[in-house]
Amino acid sequence: MQENHEDLTLNIPDTGKKRVVIIGGGFGGLNLLKHLKTGIYQVVMLDRYNYHTFQPLLYQVATAGLEPDSVAGPLRKMIRKKDDFHFRMLTVHRIDPAQQLIHTVAGELKYDFLVLASGSKINYFGNEDISGHGFPLKQVTHALDLRSKIFQQFEKLEILEEHDGLQRYFNFVVVGAGSTGVELCGALAKLRNHVLPSDYPELSFDRMKIYLVEGLERVLPAMSDHASRKAHHYLEKMGVKIILNTLTESYDGETVTLNNGNKIRTNTLIWAAGVKGNIIEGLKPESLHKGRIQVDRFNRVYRDQEQKYPGFFAIGDVAIMETEKYTGGLPGLAPVAIQQGVHLARNLKRIHRQKNLKPFRYRNKGVMATIGRNRAVADLPGGLKLGGFAGWVIWMTLHLLYLVGFRNKAVVFTNWIWNYFTYDRGIRLIIRPPGKDKDLISREIASEVGDPYT
């Protein structure tokens, strides 16, 4: 499709300055943008969406704790005070790093410096049926979809008469016990314990089961043993059924088949089991490593073992950078992306002043996960490990600090206070686009029930 536009040029004014193109307005791209001094370069940011998504809180949108609007920040607002900064909402189809050219749906664009900050995308590891029936949780729209799906299950249960097939409406399966999976299970358990029983008094919530399926031998495998054990304990106390050392083989929308032969009936499978670099077409296999773009300590992308591409950088989740301490590559975490964005901004200034680049050094700020009310686990720098209420307060504070914009901080904080004291979730609207998820159900046979879309 983009081939029609090979001869068109994307409409960006030529101001005579060298042009930095940033692809992606996530943690990496946004922090690079913030720290690039005005006046040195022309800066162009491209994104498919017009907002930055605060992914760590999407699970709270999905479980009706936060409005979608408060975990997203309009990208233009962050750009508007800078001079010669330009935002364009569009998709980039292909990059041509040898020619220093990118190809977008609206024409091509030359760059002096390109920063690929396109993040990660869901990795289904080739499981077509899971990608067709399971719910991902990477975008605001995913969170809205999942929220609607969860509440629709119970609306339908109040309509259907008792029969053997009903348990799959009550079952929720989360695949992957990283922080997304663990936090989502905690939030689902909170919904079951505090919100749903009063909303649906005719249903018995003893029947609602939350399964967490993990391929490795413990939950939060990227965290310390201490954090993992604590999280495991918290989850079990909240009634989450944890299945370890088990892979998910298939899912047809009704039944999950595990690699130990067991089956779980469920209408709702959430896939939190893996991501891969959101790589854009045009890179040679030599530039890639473990499904990400291999970069050196200056975030530069190499054409081959020897030669780097001119002015081409990658930061955050789309990149993999090996260091002395992280020989397998830095983890795919927001702090890595943020720090690389800030660092690259400084290196771009060094390039302008014709100084030597400085290598990136990752400062580990700690890793955390929250599991329901008053409970979180944290591995802090210096080997400090925190759990329970203290961990939970730190988790909330850090997430508020990193949220984009004062308005969002205020709204999220107010919501958390509200939810804490009322045990309520204000935001359980089922808003779904027409034609989506028109499950066909009835009491004994499939037939349409409860169509809220027309």
Q: At its nearest, how many Å lie between its own copies and the CB of residue 33?
A: 15
- DSSP strand pairing (275-277 vs 376-379): unpaired
Interstrand relation of 51-53 and 72-74 (parallel, antiparallel or unpaired)? antiparallel
Q: Which is nearer to its own copies, 27 or 154 (CB)?
A: 154
Question: Helix (H, G, I), strand (E, B), or coil: what is residue 411?
Answer: helix
Q: Taking the complex as a whole, how short is the minimal distance between the CB of residue 95 and its own copies, in angstroms?
A: 17
Q: How many helices (H) and strands (E) does the chain have?
A: 12, 26
Handedness of CA 3, 291, 398, 365 (dihedral sign): negative
Binding residues for its own copies (CB under 8 A): 1, 4-5, 8, 10-11, 13, 48-51, 67-70, 72, 74, 76-77, 80, 86-91, 105-107, 140-141, 144, 151, 155, 158-161, 198-202, 405, 407-408, 410-411, 414, 418, 424, 426-431, 433-434, 436, 442-443, 447-452, 454
Nearer to its own copies, 39 or 201 (CB): 201
Q: Which is nearer to its own copies, 307 or 454 (CB)?
A: 454
Sign of the Cα torsion 298, 299, 305, 310 reads: negative
Start-to-end CA span in the chain (Å)? 33
Residue whose CB is less far from its own copies, 129 or 424: 424
Nearer to its own copies among residue 113 and residue 151 (C-beta): 151
Check residue 359 and give left, alpha or beta (phi > 0: left; psi -120 to 50: alpha).
beta
Q: How far is the CB of 154 from its own copies (least distance, A)?
A: 9
Q: Least distance from C-beta 21 to its own copies, angstroms?
A: 15
Residues 137 and 143: their CA atoms lie apart, in Å, by 6
Comparison of 49 and 402: residue with beta carbon closer to its own copies: 49
Q: Which two tokens stand for residue 191?
A: 């919904």
Minimal distance, residue 87 CB to its own copies, in Å: 8
In 3D space, the residue among 271, 16, 28 whose CA is nearest the CA of residue 132 turns out to be 271
In whole angstroms, give the CA distance from residue 300 to residue 385. Answer: 34
C-beta of 7 vs 306, nearer to its own copies: 7
In the complex, minimum distance from the CB of residue 302 to its own copies, in angstroms, rounded to a whole number:
29
Min. distance of Cβ 135 from its own copies in angstroms? 14
CB of 85 to its own copies, least distance (A): 9
How many CB atoms are located within 10 Å of the residue 256 CB? 25
Structure tokens at 18: 């060298």
Q: How far is the CB of 342 from its own copies (least distance, A)?
A: 25
Both tokens of 139, joined, read 């975008």
Alpha-carbon distance of 436 to 432, in angstroms, equals 7
CB hemisphere CA count around 149 (13 angstroms): 28
Compute the Cα dihedral for 136, 141, 146, 147 and give only its sign: positive
How many beta carbons lie within 10 A of that of residue 443, not counting itself?
13
Q: Provide the minimum distance between the beta carbon of 112 and its own copies in the complex, in angstroms, as a whole number.
A: 20
Q: Which is nearer to its own copies, 151 or 313 (CB)?
A: 151
User: Residue 263 or residue 407: which is nearer to its own copies going by CB?
Assistant: 407
Q: Bridge-partner residues for 121, per DSSP?
A: 276
Residue 319 to residue 142: CA distance in whole angstroms: 24
Closer to its own copies by CB, 99 or 141: give it.
141
The residue (of 75 and 367) whose beta carbon lies closer to its own copies is: 75
Alpha-helix residue ranges (DSSP H) falling in 43-193: 58-62, 75-79, 128-133, 140-159, 167-170, 179-190
Considering the complex, what minimum distance in angstroms separates the CB of residue 438 from its own copies?
11
- Per the structure block, which two tokens stand in for 69? 């609007």
